Amino acid sequence: MARHLDERTLRVVGWIATVTAILMYGSYLDQIRMNLAGEKGSVIQPLATVLNTCLWAAYGWLHKDKDWPIIVANVPGIILGATCLYTAL
C-alpha cells in the first residue's frame, strides 16, 4: 500500500479518525460514573491515556502546520482521562 493519498482524502480520513477517537474517550464517562458511585477502577489506563493524549496534542500543536485533527482528537482524551484518573483516586 505504497500509494499516496491526495490531500483531500487524507484530511477526510484525519477527521473521521478524530470523531472515532472522541467516541472512544467518551467511554470514560461510564467509568467516571462508577468511580463516583464508589466502584473505583484502575488508575493505570487513565494515567496512560492522559500521558499519551498530552504527547499527541503537543505533537499536533508543535507541527509546522498545526495538525488540527490530532489536536482535536486528543483534547477530550486529556480532559476525560484526567477526570477518570482523579475520580479513581
pLDDT tens for 39-52 read 999 999 999 999 99
User: Range with the lowest mean pLDDT among 3-12, 14-23, 78-87?
Assistant: 3-12
- Confirm if 43 and 87 have CB atoms less than 8 A apart: no
Report yes or no on 76 lying in a domain. Answer: yes
Report yes or no on 7 lying in a domain. Answer: no
Residue numbers of the domain that contains 61: 41-88
The pLDDT value given to residue 3: 65
Report yes or no on 83 lying in a domain. Answer: yes
Report yes or no on 6 lying in a domain. Answer: no
Q: How many structural domains are present in the chain?
A: 1
Asked if pLDDT for residue 25 goes beyond 60, the answer is yes
Report yes or no on 18 lying in a domain. Answer: no
CB atoms within 10 A of CB 32: 18
Mean pLDDT of the chain: 91
Report yes or no on 73 lying in a domain. Answer: yes
